[in-house]
Amino acid sequence: MSDRAVSEVDSPPAAGEPPVKPRRDPAKLVRPVAWLALLVVLLALPLYLDAAWLKAGQYMMIGGVGAIGLTLVVGQAGQLSLAHAFFLLAGGTAYTVLSGPAGDDRVIGFGLDPGLSLVGAVVVSALLGLAFAPVAGRLRGIYLGVASLALVFLGLYFGQSAEELTGGTSTGRAPTPFSLFGFPFTDDGPEITLLGVPIRQAERTWYLFLLLTALAFVIARGAVAGRPGRSWRAVRDNEAAAAVMGVSVLRAKAGAFAVSSAYGGLAGAMTVLWFDILKPDESEFGTYGINVSIAYLAMVIIGGLGSVPGALVGALIVNGLPQVLALYSADLGWFSGTGDGALTPILVSSFVYGAAIILVVLFEPGGLAAIGRRLTRRSFRRRTPEEK
């Protein structure tokens, strides 16, 4: 920038001249429009996609909700957690038990409204995360990660032994179909047609999951921008300095872990609604096993630690790639082998996001979020007179 341009920007206006209005940042104007356009596209997709693709998109949204919660505790608060699979199981079990019919001789149910049961699942998961807070408040780094991993094995034991709650590993138990204010998100109830497209269970579940994902996103962005986010980042950067500034380190860590657990519980309730069954794992590798905790950690690393939009992009890659490959492989005959050593969509996806983690760690520790911010700044950077 030339000296004249610098003086025009930095010098105050002369006497009698009107004050110079600061220029608006174009990126701040474009960003809300881009989010609105994305929302419109997501609302319109059920009118053009079949049920199989909608099912794949729902699974991506489940990953997005869980990844948002994990990026808050890992990226914003600096606490390594590998217990996300446990809170998925806790949330799914809580929803199924709270909404399940009372009086069943085999399993326990309270017969609550499904909407209230969903809120109860979030609360139960948050309380379980808060119960782990004393451990989280005294450990950090790899030690906290190993300690939190113990919760996954605790969930494995719980799922197998508490058959009156989970239904057991052999049969599991079906969750109560979700309804909100009496409106069912299944094929039952009133028939709805939008632009000539019947809105059935796949479309209704899509809109339900989209609503939950949007709420999770907005709440997380508000927490990051507000006082909780500032306290989490202060503790992450320097615990001693945060304590000197008046931040309660233990309370900040406990709050971050509880919020992350609540998000995990919501993702768990969405998971049982997606599978239409609560079925605990028979081994440590399953729907609620170690592999799931690692997958969620991969989402936040690929998307960018601490970035809420990055968590959604990471979930799109990690949870979405197996679904997309499975749909395409069925049509094109790809990855259709069976047995040991066969290439399956899940195995190929593991290779892809494993390689993505290595590339992110080596070349862009900030993840896809950092790349996106850099491209945005470059696109809207104000050019100097010499560049024009």
Over the chain (388 residues), the average pLDDT of each successive run of 10 is 45 55 63 87 92 94 97 94 95 96 88 96 96 85 90 94 92 93 86 87 95 97 94 92 91 93 97 95 90 94 93 93 81 59 73 84 83 76 48
pLDDT at 336: 59
**Which residue in the block uniquely carries the two structure tokens 């509880």?**
258
Parallel, antiparallel or unpaired: strands 183-184 and 193-194: unpaired
pLDDT at 17: 58
- CATH fold of 49-181+197-380 reads ABC transporter involved in vitamin B12 uptake, BtuC (1.10.3470)
Estimate to the nearest angstrom the gap between the alpha carbon of 21 and the chain centroid.
Answer: 40
pLDDT at 8: 43
User: What span, in angstroms and rounded, lies between the C-alpha atoms of 8 and 13?
Assistant: 9
Query: Which tokens is 61 given?
Result: 């949204």
User: What span, in angstroms and rounded, lies between the C-alpha atoms of 103 and 105?
Assistant: 6
pTM: 0.88
Beta bridge partners of 194: 197
Listed residue (224, 124, 117, 119) closest to 175, CA to CA: 117
Listed residue (206, 176, 166, 147) closest to 287, CA to CA: 166
Listed residue (95, 63, 115) closest to 174, CA to CA: 95
Amino acid at 37: A
User: What span, in angstroms and rounded, lies between the C-alpha atoms of 1 and 191?
Assistant: 63
**Which residue in the block uniquely carries the two structure tokens 């696109």?**
379
* Torsion of Cα atoms, 132 then 287 then 162 then 261, to 10°: 20
> Phi/psi of residue 184, each to 5°?
-80, 145
pLDDT at 141: 84
Listed residue (9, 95, 134, 75) closest to 296, CA to CA: 75
User: What span, in angstroms and rounded, lies between the C-alpha atoms of 95 and 110?
Assistant: 10
Query: Which tokens is 281 given?
Result: 């794992």
Listed residue (77, 130, 76) closest to 261, CA to CA: 130
pLDDT at 23: 60
pLDDT at 378: 72
* Torsion of Cα atoms, 233 then 360 then 219 then 130, to 10°: -60
pLDDT at 340: 59
Half-sphere exposure of 191 (CA within 13 A, CB side): 4
